[in-house]
Every structure is written in structure tokens, then in C-alpha cells.
């Protein structure tokens, strides 16, 4: 596993280059809708274009990997000019009187926490944690539940709070359904969906019964994310007990939720990768390639991540990548190519990928620097691989 252990640091180094806060675009209403769909608070950098400390935070703090990782995982992030567009009204609503002001807003639009002035990375993350501690009410919900609160609407919110805190939900939900029989079907479906962690669970039966409710209440991306996560536990069970029938039954159940062919294929490939079944994995890739929207570079990365030690699989990944990369010169695809070069231990191929990426038209100064920085890091890791071999 020496090769893959060296490639993991390269992927971490990519985070060092790209690891910055991902600020979303959209109106304030759209940002709140994103927050509600992803069950995250909103972090707002309330700035003015002439503000010196605002510029320092943008260049010195928001670009740090630790800050980017923390805020991208926990918040919907937005930069809003307080002197343009919706800025003045939002400034009035949330009491912005100096710049920068860092606002932490609940998905419902309520102010949770506020910090004013330049913040170091540590101070900014600490403020984020303060906001999250206010957002996470799982202890208060647990106390009320233990005291006998059983209203279905309350239990639904309780499941959401437990999810925020990454605490177990399945046992509580199943016991609740055993205790309380007369539950509104719409609320029952939502409680089951929020609590679902394993496709083998009885909760999935309730999700399936209420799938029309689930579709109407949740964005499709949230549904996909939940079911993919639940499938991982079942895949582990199927592998552990060498029980492909468990996996096959799960796939048939997922089809009843009308997941897209792309999502189903990715779940299948997760199983084939865990089982070490290269033939089945390749067959699934080839089937996905029949789609007009097939992403050859993305599929190449899937192969690389699933079979980093298999030379035939890496060669097949390179074949797909070479077809897709010249017409889709994105930074993400560039990382795929460099990763393949490290996995194949091929200096010449790395130079080809680097040279192709340099041909991208209308590069910004930042992009040019990123292209060079990633190439230098990839070359360093490949040199290390050769020394240790």
C-alpha cells in the first residue's frame, strides 16, 4: 500500500491549495433555502469594499485550509457587500454598524451570534463553534424527550438535532414508533427519514411508505445523500459476512425510491470496490459511459480511489481521463490527472497533464499559480515514491 499512502498526502496538499471558504451565490432568500435544505446555519461576511480589515480577512483568513474545512462543513457561507443590493436592508435587520461584521444566522433567518472586526483563524473558528453550540439543542431535546414529550412534530425536530450533533437516532425512533401508534403519516415518514442510518432498518419501510412525502419535503440532493450514507452500512455488512444477497436486496429496495441511475451505479461500485471485484466495477463504469452526461474524468477518479494498487485499473482510468480532460480543463480534473500520474509512477504522463492544463484559455493569476503549485507538489510526491521504492 506504499503508493497509495504517498498519494493520500498529495490529495491533502490539494486541500492546502484549494482549502478556502466556499462562498455561495444567491439572494438572501435563496441562501436561507440552501440552509434549510442542508440543515446548516448561514455564515455571512458582512463587508464593505473600502474596508481594510475586510480585505485582510479575505486574503489571510478565509483562504486557510483549517478555516475552509470548518466553515464548508458546518455552514452555508456568503459574502455580502453591505452597501449594495440587499446589503443595506440586511445590515439594518441584523445590526451591522462596523466592518467586517461576521454574522451567524439560523436557517429560519434568526441571528444566532455576531462578531465584529478582524478575526484570526482561531478566533473565527471559535466564533463558529459558539454559533454551532447555540444551534445544537440536542441536550435540551433529549431532556424533554426523557421527561415524556412525545408530540410527533417535537420528535421530528429532535431527530434533526441529534443528526446535527452526530448522535444515534435509529434506536430512539424505532422505540418511539413502538410506543406511539397513532402518528400522522407525513410526520412518521419524515421522522423515519431523519433517523435512517442503515438500509436494513425497519425505518426504511416507513420511508418507502411515505416516499411521496419525502420527495415533497426534501431536495433530491438531500435524499440522495441520506440513502447513499445509509447504504454504506449495509455494504459493510454484506462484505463482512460475505453475503451478496444482502447487497442485492438493498439495491432492489433503493430502486423503489426512484434514485437516478447515476446514484445507483455509484452505490453498486462502492460494493464492488469493497469486494475487490474489478470486472464488475469496470462493467458498471462502461454502463455509465453509455449516458450522454457521462463524466470520464470523474469516473477515472472513482477507479483510482477504488483500486489504487491495480496497474490495469489505473491504465483504464488513464484511458478515460485522456478522453475527457482536453475538453474539460477544470482544476478538479487536473487533480485527477496528477493523481493518476503519481499512482502510475509516470513522470512523462505528469508532464503531459501539466502541459495540457497550461493550455487552458483565460486563466486568472490565481489559477496560474494553483496550476504551478499543484504540479510542484505532485512532482515532489512522485519523487518521494521513487526514492522509497
Cβ–Cβ under 8 Å, residues 119 and 98:
no
Helices (DSSP H) in 78-196: which residue ranges?
87-94, 121-135, 138-146, 152-164, 170-179, 185-195
Q: Where are the domains of the chain?
A: 20-135
pLDDT in tens, 131-167: 888 777 778 899 999 999 999 999 999 998 888 777 8
pLDDT in tens, 229-269: 899 989 999 999 999 999 999 999 999 998 888 899 999 99
Overall pTM surpassing 0.85 (yes/no): no
pLDDT at residue 350, rounded to an integer = 95
- CATH topology classification for 20-135: Glutaredoxin (3.40.30)
Strands (E), the chain: 42-47, 76-81, 101-105, 111-116
Query: How far apart (Å, rounded) are the C-alpha atoms in residues 249 and 303?
Result: 25
Query: How far apart (Å, rounded) are the C-alpha atoms in residues 133 and 165?
Result: 10
- Taking 80 as the threshold, does the pLDDT of residue 218 lie above it? yes
- Taking 80 as the threshold, does the pLDDT of residue 18 lie above it? no
Cβ–Cβ under 8 Å, residues 271 and 235:
yes
Query: How far apart (Å, rounded) are the C-alpha atoms in residues 313 and 303?
Result: 7
Can you tell me whether residue 23 is helix, strand or coil?
strand
Amino acid at each position: 500500500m506504499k503508493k497509495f499512502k504517498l498519494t493520500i498526502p498529495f490529495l491533502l496538499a490539494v486541500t492546502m491549495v484549494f482549502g478556502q471558504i466556499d462562498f455561495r451565490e444567491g439572494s438572501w432568500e435563496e441562501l436561507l433555502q440552501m440552509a434549510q435544505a442542508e440543515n446548516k446555519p448561514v455564515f455571512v461576511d458582512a463587508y464593505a469594499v473600502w474596508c481594510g480589515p475586510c480585505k485582510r480577512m479575505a486574503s489571510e483568513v478565509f483562504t486557510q485550509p483549517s478555516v475552509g474545512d470548518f466553515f464548508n462543513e458546518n455552514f452555508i457561507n456568503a459574502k455580502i457587500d453591505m452597501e449594495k443590493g440587499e446589503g443595506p436592508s440586511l445590515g439594518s435587520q441584523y445590526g451591522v454598524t462596523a466592518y467586517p461584521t461576521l454574522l451567524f444566522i439560523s436557517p429560519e433567518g434568526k441571528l444566532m451570534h455576531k462578531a465584529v472586526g478582524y478575526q484570526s483563524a482561531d478566533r473565527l473558528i471559535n466564533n463558529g463553534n459558539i454559533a454551532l453550540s447555540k444551534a445544537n439543542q440536542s441536550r435540551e431535546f433529549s431532556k424533554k424527550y426523557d421527561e415524556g414529550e412525545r408530540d410527533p412534530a417535537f420528535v421530528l425536530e429532535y431527530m434533526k438535532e441529534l443528526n446535527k450533533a452526530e448522535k444515534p437516532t435509529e434506536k430512539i425512533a424505532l422505540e418511539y414508533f413502538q410506543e406511539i401508534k397513532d402518528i400522522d403519516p407525513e410526520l412518521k415518514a419524515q421522522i423515519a427519514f431523519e433517523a435512517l442510518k442503515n438500509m436494513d432498518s425497519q425505518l426504511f419501510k416507513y420511508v418507502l411508505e411515505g416516499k411521496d412525502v419525502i420527495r415533497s419535503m426534501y431536495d433530491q440532493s438531500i435524499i440522495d445523500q441520506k440513502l447513499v450514507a445509509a447504504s454504506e452500512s449495509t455494504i459493510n455488512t454484506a462484505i463482512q459476512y460475505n453475503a451478496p444477497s444482502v447487497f442485492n436486496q438493498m439495491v432492489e429496495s433503493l430502486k423503489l425510491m426512484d434514485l437516478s441511475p447515476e446514484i445507483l451505479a455509484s452505490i453498486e461500485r462502492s460494493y464492488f470496490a469493497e469486494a475487490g471485484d474489478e470486472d464488475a466495477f469496470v462493467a458498471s463504469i462502461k454502463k455509465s459511459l453509455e449516458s450522454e452526461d457521462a463524466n470520464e474524468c470523474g469516473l477515472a477518479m472513482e477507479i483510482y480511489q477504488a483500486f489504487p494498487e491495480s496497474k490495469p485499473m489505473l491504465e483504464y482510468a488513464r484511458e478515460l481521463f485522456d478522453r475527457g480532460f482536453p475538453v474539460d480543463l477544470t482544476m478538479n480534473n487536473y487533480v485527477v490527472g496528477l493523481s493518476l500520474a503519481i499512482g502510475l509512477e509516470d513522470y512523462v504522463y505528469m508532464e503531459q497533464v501539466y502541459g495540457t492544463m497550461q493550455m487552458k484559455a483565460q486563466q486568472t493569476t490565481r489559477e496560474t499559480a494553483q496550476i504551478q503549485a499543484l504540479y510542484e507538489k505532485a512532482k515532489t510526491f512522485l519523487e518521494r515514491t521513487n526514492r522509497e521504492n
